[in-house]
């Protein structure tokens, strides 16, 4: 069974349980935190993939490290330890986010600008671009990129809406040369 198939199965089970217990937003929030910790801490990955550490110790460490996390998340991590699937955590979280976004009518968007967006600008961008992709709203990650000179570039999934000044200048340059 491939990583994506396994991750989807776990993500679906986790998603359905979170929905059933009416704790979708809490679980989603904890999974976002877990993903940050998991991706940024190489020692943690090494520790949990080490065969030298017993399953019991790994489970105790999970309970200790993620003590404030939703019990559904902690239990899922412990099941993954039992099944020796802890290396799937990142994939499972990604699959869970897809399911959660779909259920809530939300899409993740990366918005590249030269400065931090205000809440009003975020709201306006969310409203306009969510309609373009058939969603109710966008969860915006604002990325500061001085190289775009001005304007903005919005990436939603594999779609890119680019109204940055640097792109417009490149287009103008190509038209003048070509």
Mean pLDDT within 132-148: 94
CA–CA distance, 151 with 41 (Å, rounded to integer): 35
Q: Are 131 and 105 in contact (CB under 8 A)?
A: no
**Pair 81, 158 in one domain:** no
**What average pLDDT does the structure give for the chain?**
92
Which residues share a beta bridge with 162?
Answer: 153
Q: Which of 29-38, 43-52, 67-76, 99-108 has the lowest mean pLDDT?
A: 43-52
Residue closest to 113 by CA, chosen among 171, 161, 170, 173: 161
Q: Residue 92 is part of a domain; what is its CATH number?
A: 1.10.520.20
**Pair 144, 167 in one domain:** yes
Angle at 88 between CA 82 and CA 89, to 5 degrees: 90
Domain total in the chain: 2
Residue 165 has pLDDT above 90, yes or no: yes
Residue closest to 132 by CA, chosen among 104, 166, 157: 157
**Pair 97, 9 in one domain:** yes
Residue 154 has pLDDT above 90, yes or no: yes
- pLDDT at position 97, please? 93
Mean pLDDT within 9-38: 94
Query: Residue 166's domain spans which residues?
Result: 106-177
């Amino acid at each position: 069974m491939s990583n994506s198939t396994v991750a989807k199965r776990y993500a679906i089970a986790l998603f359905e349980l979170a929905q059933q217990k009416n704790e979708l937003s809490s679980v989603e929030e904890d999974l976002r935190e877990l993903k940050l910790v998991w991706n940024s801490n190489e020692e943690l990955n090494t520790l949990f993939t080490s065969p030298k550490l017993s399953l019991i110790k790994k489970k105790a460490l999970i309970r200790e490290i993620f003590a404030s996390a939703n019990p559904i998340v902690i239990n899922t991590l412990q099941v993954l330890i039992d099944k020796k699937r802890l290396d799937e955590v990142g994939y499972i979280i990604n699959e869970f986010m897809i399911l959660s976004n779909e259920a809530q009518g939300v899409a993740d968007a990366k918005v590249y600008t030269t400065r931090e967006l205000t809440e009003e600008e975020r709201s306006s961008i969310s409203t306009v671009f969510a309609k373009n992709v058939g969603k109710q709203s966008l969860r915006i990650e604002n990325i500061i990129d001085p190289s775009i000179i001005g304007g903005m570039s919005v990436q939603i999934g594999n779609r890119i809406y680019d109204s940055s000044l640097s792109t417009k200048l490149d287009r103008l340059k190509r038209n003048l040369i070509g």
